[in-house]
Structure formats: structure tokens, C-alpha cells
Chains A and B, each alone.
Chain A
Amino acid sequence: MKVANRKCIRRMAWSNLKGSRTRNIVAIVAIALTSILFTVLFTISLSVVNGFQEAGFRKAGTYAHGAFVRLYKEQYEQLKEAPEYQSYGARILAGVADEKPFNKANVEITYCDKQVADYMYLTTEKGTLPKEGTKEAAADTKVLQLLGVEPVIGTEFSVSFKVNRQEITRTYTLSGYWNADDLAPANHILIPQSEVEDLMEAVGTTTDIRMGQYAGSYDLYFMLDDSSHIEKTEQKILKRYGYQSEDPRQDNYVSKEVNVSYALARLNKADAESILIILGMAALIIFTGYLVIHSIFRIATVNDIQRYGLLKTIGTTKRQIRRIVYMESFLLAGVGIVVGLVIGYGIGALLTPVVTKQMNGIRMLVSTSPLIFLLAAVFSFFTVLISSMKPARIAARVSPIEALRYTETASVSSKKKRKSRKVSEYRMACTNVGRNKAKTVTTMLSLTLAVLVLNITYIITNSFDMDKYLKNVKADCMVANAPYFQASGHLFSETNAVEENVIKDIQDTKLVSDAGRTYGIGSEQYVYQYVPKDTYVSSMENNYNSQENIDYFLEHETQIDGRYESGVNLYGMDDFCLKTAEVVEGDLSKLKEGDNYIAAVYGKDDYGKVEDSNWAKVGDTVTLRYANGVEWYNPDTGEVYSEEELDMLPEDEPCWERPVDYHDVTYTVCAAIALSNNMTYRYYTFDEFVLPSSVLLKEYPQAGVMYYAYNVKEGKEQEMEDFLSDYTTKNMEDYDYESKLKWMEDLDSYKQMYLILGSALSLVIGIIGIINFLNVNLTSIFVRKREFAILQAVGMTGRQLKKMLITEGMIYAFGSLLLALLVSLLLEPVMKSAVENLFWFCTYRNAVAPIVCMVPVFVMIGAGLPVALYHFMVKKSIVERLL
């Protein structure tokens, strides 16, 4: 039977709510705090995920989902009609500039429509994009800086570049500019479409994709409705228009690009450890919220139990009563959650920079994803829901008769007897606290949680071990070209070698005590090693080559004595740098004895374990081929390509490089060593070896200085720091440095992040705990108002009563502190392994200091609150309270 009683139930719930203002406020505050915690958690998490994704976009150069690149105009016109795009835009290549002053940058001269400019973060900060039919151009600040042009709109500037490999110089008027992004793969000059055509005409070239003449070719960038099937959608579109992207030799070949950041971001999201941490935090918040919200609702329900009994008597069903209780909870939750979302987002926005500051290359951007609010609301609502279940059951189950007798005391003292002992205010306090053990324990737990979180925060930050953190830092300072320090996969290039005048400037400070250079082989320099077949094959397998491919390579690869040609990461180290190496096996001093010894480098993980990461063992011989150049040839036919042929070479022709003008030297491995991570190339491509710098330079004088490392005279560290920071920002902007001082600041700020987040978390949990305590106390004193009047009537003085209440408060205070102490002692083994596994630079140090520090705070709360409530209560006379 269905009765239209919803309205009635709703009215009943509503009138109930209006009747208990204090309870409502307490409940709303508790729900809001819970919802604040969730919102902050999700704001920070999603901001970090977004930050990573955005950094990925910036590295890819665009946030567009994908692109069809190098299209003829007709192909572009055709493909742009596909209905799958949510938005799309065109980009037309005009030329590239790679000669001085752009030899260290990668500058592209293109036309981009508004949409693509937006996709590629090329939005002008000042001015506008160039207007059609003019000689205007827009560029980024890096381009302008390299050209030596002041960023002023209307300035004329000349720039030389190549259109289909033909040099041309043009003068443009600056129409707009934007800040260059260090992470971006290229720098840009944007010109009007009319100028592209003009340029091609001027040099007399046409677009011919197969011949590598890309000037005038279109790139079609687009966003789809959904980022999850980019590649499949692209294939679908191509197929529809009769194109394919597999076989470049076919005429209908179209090259497609997929923005991997979307896939990577999804992988990141699925990063198990982060998910676990976020889930753990969510569980903690649910638990905290449950403790307080459940307690508030339960007390409210018990106080209202007579009314529920009455409702039952007049014919309200269980279901209806449950619905009344839920309805009340949900109305309160509605208000609390909205308040929590707003405040929480504010706090989250404040805390996000604290976190993102610690992550390299992430720009601070607070996520505005609606997912934050959705997740926070859902989790908060879930917490309220589970918190209301038991109270709803209690209310629904009560029998009309029992309701009259149902009080907090009666409901729980199932005990019939009690051993009589001497009565004192202390013993009475103990009895009172023990009246409802479940309530007492949850209240204590609620207070305990805050202390525990604080203590764990303290333990983690206190365990940060500077010595461990600095164990890889073997020199006070390292100076190198900026890309060396960037974690973005820049290969060391001879153009990025440290120049001798920079080293001289540093030495001229007279602050250096001991120093050394480490030389490296640049990406356009050619030194090879010859590795055993197994090593060769396994490295090919690591690069996901097919068996067919591997066999092909084994057949055609250059060999010496049955060993196969491979690249090598070779170092030439001065003594200062060489001394930082850790000898795993063998005798490093032999390196000095003659020119024919070499050291093999083995890797170490973050925990200091040496990995089996080099094919060469102590005693093995290693042959290196030092070449002054390479030539390009067809491995099938042996035909060597000329420069011109190379430029015109179809993409699918096999084209290998091999050394020319070379000499071979064979060394004996005298030692296996481990280099600290900071002293290496900072990327791993091939098995690594170390020679003394003098030996390397003798064989290969063109090797460049990869970094210059040195120690600073005692007490001069700050002075050197000031010099370097000034030098690398004002004099030599291409250079950057690392220093022990900077590393120490790094760890400190990392520590600070944990302290800020942990303290903020424990503060909010603490407030929740106190609210719970306040509510429990308030109601327990309210419920016992009459009992206290009796006690006073039969002769308990105010002092004695206060003493009793203070004792009750103290039992809560010290009970929760002891519980915190106990739990943290029990957690110690788990904490130890968690802390040391999570952070390699941690040495677990247990601590209880925060718990001890909390004693005065808890004493104040435990004693102050009940006393305040007592004074509030005794405003009414005994007689009034007795009635």
C-alpha cells in the first residue's frame, strides 16, 4: 500500500530540526569540517595530477589531443571535415632556424590560426597575432632575447632562417609576444599565412612531403570529445578518407600524432602508491567524520527518543521514523557540505602551492575540475549516511513504552549490581565516564586521532636525514649548462659544454678550495664501444624491437672480434671527480699507472644497492672507437649517401651511420665503480666507462666539459651561493648550478611541506575531536542536570562537583593521550618500514614529543570545558533544576 505521506514526514523532520538549534549548529560544523578535509584532499590531489598533465602538454608543446601532420592543402581540407573534432586548427610550416644565434634553440617559423596558437600555448601576452597581408610577426621572449630585440610592440627585427633548406632573411614588425616556456620543445615565430606563401615564392620552392620539403605543409591539430581513444579515432578518420598511417611508402600515407600526455596522465592517476595514499587519507577522514557525526546524531536521537516513542504510539511506522532521522541528517548534511566545499576549496587553493612547489617543472595551477566538488560531496555524504544508520535504527526500533524510560543511563547500565565502595568525587567521575563505554571510547578516539596525525607528521619530518639526503652530493657546487640539470631528457651536447671563461670566473672568486672537470661525449660526437652479443640483443629487446629487427641488426652491425658496435657513455674525469667514485671491485688507482686502464660504471639504486648494470667486469678488455665523423649508408647495399642524397632520402629507406676517420684503443677494466647520481650524464643510454680526463683528451681532444665540480673554502658557502645565483641569472643565463646549500634548502622546504600539511590536517581533525568532546560533554552535563541538583541538595558542594567534572574531563584528556601513545608505540614497526621505504633519505627516529606537548592543551580542554559548562549550568538554582 502506498500512502502519500512524504510531505508529512518531511514536515515532521523539518519541525524537528527547527526545535534543536544547538544540535544543528554542532552537526553542521562537524559535517562542514569533514567536507573541508575531503575538499582539500581532492583539490590538492587533482591539482597535482593536472600539474603533471599540464607539464606533459608543455613538454609536448600542445594540449591538443592529436594531429595529422605534414599534409598537403587538399588533404587538410578533406580531413578537417571529419565530424569527430570538438575543435581543430591549422598550422603551416614556413621554415626553421638553427644557425647562430639559434644554435642552442629550436626555432620554428610558422603560421598558426587562433585555435592552434591556443593549443600550443602561443597566446600573446602583449599585442596580437600577426595580421594577414602584412609583414608582422609574433614571437616568444626567448627568440627576441636571442635576436637581441627589445620586446616592444612595433619594433622591426630581421631574422634569417631556412625555407626547405634555402637561407632567407626577412624583416618583420613585432605584433605581439609571449613568455617562452623552458619546457616547450621549440621556440616560435608566428607569421601570417600570406607571408608563408610569399616566402615559398621568394625562394622558389614547393611542398613535397616525400622529398622532405615540408615548407607549406599543413598540420591539422584537433581536440576530440573524449581523450581515451585518440589513436583509434585518428585511424577511423584516416580510413574514412582513404588514408593510412602504417606504410610510409604508399601514396595515401598520412603521419598522425597522439598527445601521449593524456595516456600518461591516466597512468599517473592509476599510480598505485598515490592512489593508496589518497584512499588512506580518505579512510582517515571518513573515520574521523564518522566518530563525530555519529556521536552527534546518536546523542540527538537518544535525547529525542520519547518523541519517537510517541510517534510510534500514534502509528508511525519504523520506515517512516527512519526516514525522519535520515531526512534530518541529510538536510543538515546539505548545509554542512556546501559550506565545507566552499571553505575547503579556499584552503585547498592555499595549500596546493605548498605541494606543487616541491615538484619539478609543475606550474602552480589550482585545479578547477568539478570532480573535486563531486568527489568531496559524495565522500562527505557517504560519511553522513553511515553515521546516521545506527541512530536511525535506534529511533526506529524503540517501543513506545520503553521510550519513556529510555535515557542514556538506563539504556546502558545493563548491570544490576555494583560493589559498594567509598564514594568520592573521583570515583564518581570514573563511574560516570564508564556509563557509556562505547561513547567514551569514540570520543577519546576522536581526540586521539589528531594527536596521532600530529605525531606521525613529526616523526616523518624528524626522520628526514640530511646526511642520507646529501650522500649523493659529493661536491659543494656543480656548475654546468642549464639543460644538464633539467630532468627533461636533454642529451649532453658539445654545444652545451662548460666554457673555460666560466670556470675562470668561478676560480677568480678565490672561494674554491678543490675542483675538477668531468668531460663527456656530446650527442654530435662519435665514440663507440663493442659489446658482447647478449648485451647487444638485450638492449635491443629493451627497446621493444621485434625478433626480425634484431636478427637484421645482428647481421648488418659492425663487429670487432665478435663484439657488436654500440654507443658508449664515456667520462673523462679529473682527480677531484674521480675521487668521488665508490670502488665496488678492483683497483681504481691503476687508472693512473698507464693509459690502458678503464673503469666500468655500475648503477646504484636509491637505497645504495649496486645493480648488475655493465657488461664489462674487472679484467675484461674494452675497445673504444674514437671517430671524428660519421657517414650515412644503406646497410643492405652498402651505398654511402651524400649530404644531398640524405636530405632527399625517402623516409622508409634504411639509413645507418658509421664512424669515419677513427682510431681504436683497447683498455683493460681495472675497477668496477659506482658514481653518485649527481656526477653522471643524468640519463642512461649505454653502458658507461670512466677514463682519467688526461687520457680521454689525448685520444679525443674535442670532448667538452660536462660539468665543473668543486668544494668551497670553509665558511664561504653562502658567499659562493650568492655569487652563483647572481652569476647564473645575470651574467651567464644559460648556466645553472647545484650546491650543497641548495640541496639542504630543498630538503628543508620538503620538510616544511609535510609539516604544513600534517599540522593543517591534525588541526582540523583536532577541531573535530574537540567538537565531539564538547558535544558529548554538553549533552552529558545537560542530561545530568537534575542528577547534579540532587547531589547538591544532599550536600555535594560546588567545589566537589567541579572536581568531579574536571576529573571526568581529565579521564578523557589523558585517556586519549595514553591511547595515542599506545597506538604510536604499536605502530612503530609499521611506521619504521613505511617511512624508510617511502623516502629513501629517511632514517626512522621515533618520537613522542608532540604527544607530550599536547598535555597542557588537553588539560586545558579537559578541565576548562566542563568547568565552563558547570558555571553555565549553576546559573539556575537547585530547585529549578530539581523540577
Chain B
Amino acid sequence: MIEDLIRGSLDHCVKCTICETHCPVSRATPLFPGPKYVGPQAERFRSGDVSPDDSLDYCSGCGICTQVCPQGVKVAEINSRARRTLKESRGIPLRDKIISRPTLSARLATPVAPVANWSLRNKLIRAAVEKTIGVHRRAPMPKFAGRTFQSWARKHDAPRLDRSVVYFHGCSTNFFEPDLGAKTVAVLEHNGFNVIAPRGQGCCGLPLQSNGLFDDATGYVERLVAKLAPYAREGYDIVATSTSCGLMLKREAYEILGMESDDLRVVSERMYDICEFLLDLQERGELETDLSPVPMKVPYHVPCQQRGHEMGKPAVDLFRLIPELQVVDTQRACCGIAGTYGLKKEKYDIAMEVGRHLFEDVTRMEPEVSVCDSETCRWQIEHGTRIRSVHPIELLHRSYEL
């Protein structure tokens, strides 16, 4: 059924090349000829398990082609599904199986965070890792926090509030950025929401999906939505600070993995990106506006997966509420990382070239921080600029003086 929907959209392609004009990868490398060529055109030559076009593997999966298509062709979805076929027919490398399971490595590393962090920054070890499994030696790696958001949440002394919202924090907030989770809770509580952070939230499966491991990804989604669905059925909204993981449950699990389940449906109907959720509050006149000046000029980058929510740039609209905060929308297409793409030995240089103009813009501004909604993008932007990159919530948290 999903196959019909996606392949059916193929016939709407009028070869207008608008997707080509927006593709961040094809302009950075001749190895990827562009979304139209490997998508609606090459799809004509694919059937069943036959996928003749290797260049497809250089698509980063950013999804901009689908967003800008004026005819509604599911270019990115066509390519993601074809890549799975391609990768299965070639054999999926061990490297891709490892880097697509962040929770697994994070669970192992968190208790020994200092050692793990040291290893990930040790040049000899990284050179060996590059040689043996193919993760580029300079690819950006997040730091294990050594503690989890869940352990913080268990000890958190929550106020009693009238309304409740469920927080889908994702793996990265749990293992790498627990402070972001705490600040999100503070902002939501300040706006009168009791925050429920269900325990045992696993990975959403997005990295597995983008590496072609659809069966494993589907299992991850099933387990995750089973945890979240009871809350959705009770009528709670769910907010996500990981914009890509939120999108996975909103849309990609249907349109790329081809899943259909009741749990998934109720969860996706209730799933909101955190900035989308707060802006909706503001539109209804329910957002607290006791915002203090934040006299800074910061660059903001819209991550590709955030565009996939099809909701505009709610972070920019929220920033307009903060006095004295000047936000410059960089208007750049992509930072290059695309989840795990830029970690790979053969793709690191392409990813850095994709992000080059963004890094130059950010660096030129000499800001205290740059702002971006997606964690892997923030790590890549920090890697490309040596300037700290933060989630939009950080600025709201600062402005609320929480």
C-alpha cells in the first residue's frame, strides 16, 4: 500500500528540477547526480530487488527534495526505500550496523563516560577505528554525559500543575545532553505543564532506517510507540526536542518504513516538535511571556528534518518574542551530517563540503552560540565552527530566567 502511494507519486514528476536546485549533496559532490536522477528517473529501472544505481548511496536522506516538490512527488521516500534494496543486495557493512544503534553504545559507555570520551577523542584510536570499521577519524562525536536525563527526572522535584504533557526525549537527550532535557522540563513547567517522561524510551529507529536496516528500525518504532501510546490514548500531547526523532514518529515510520499500526497512529497524531508546541500555545494566548532580554546576536540554522515537519520555522517565531535577541536565519540548506552520513569515512569530506557555507556564515558572526533544533546537526556545526551550538530551548530557558 505504501509502495503504491510512493511509487504512484512518481507519475506526478514533471522533471521541473526544483528538487535538483535544492539538493545540498549534488552541489557538493559529482558522486551524487541529484534527487531527480536517482529518484523519479532511476526508479523506472528498478523492480523488486533490482537496484542498478549505486550513486543512490550518496543521498544523505535530508528530505529537502520532497519538501520543495511542487507536484507532491515523494522523492526522498522513493530514494530511501530504494537505498534499502540497494544496501541489502550489496550487504550492509558492520560499521553501519554499529553507528545506527546509538542507544546500545550509549548504554555501554555511560557508566565509563570519561574513558569512552577519551577514547573517542584519541587520535590513534580514531585512526584505528577508521581503518577497521570506516568511521572517519575527524567525524564529530558527542560527549557521553556520564549521567542520564532519566536519572535526573527521577530525582526531579516536580511542582503540581493542572495540565500534563509527555516528553519524548530521545536517546541523545538521555545520554549526551541531559541538561537540555532539564531545561525543557523547566520551560514546560513554567508554562503550567506537568512533564511526564516515560521510562524506557528507546531509540526511534531513525539511524537504522537511514542505513537501510528497515526490519530492525521497525522493531524499534514498535517498542517505542508501545511505551508512548497509552499516554496518547489518554489524551496527552507528546513533545520532542529531537526534531528528527519526532519526525520519525510523525511521518517517516509510515512513509519510509511503511508501518501501519494503531499505536503509531495515536502517537503521531499527538506528537509535536517542542517549538511547534510552544508556538501553538502562543497562538492561543497561553504562552507565558515574562521573557527577559537576551542581548545577543546568534545565527540560527533550520535542520533538514525540522523542515520535514512542514510547520515553518516555529523557533524563529518564538525568538521574536525574546527582547533584544537578534537571530539571523542563515538560510543555508544543510550542515552535511544528515544523522550518520557524515560520520562515514567515504562521506565525511562531502558532509563537510555541504556544510562549508553554513560554517563560514556562523564563524564570521563570532557569536557566543549558534542555534539549531537537531542534535547531530549541532555537533556537526560545532565541529565545523568550534563554536557551541544549542537547541532553541536554551535561549527560551535563559530568557525566562529559570
B partners with A:
no
Residues of A within 8 A of B (CB): none
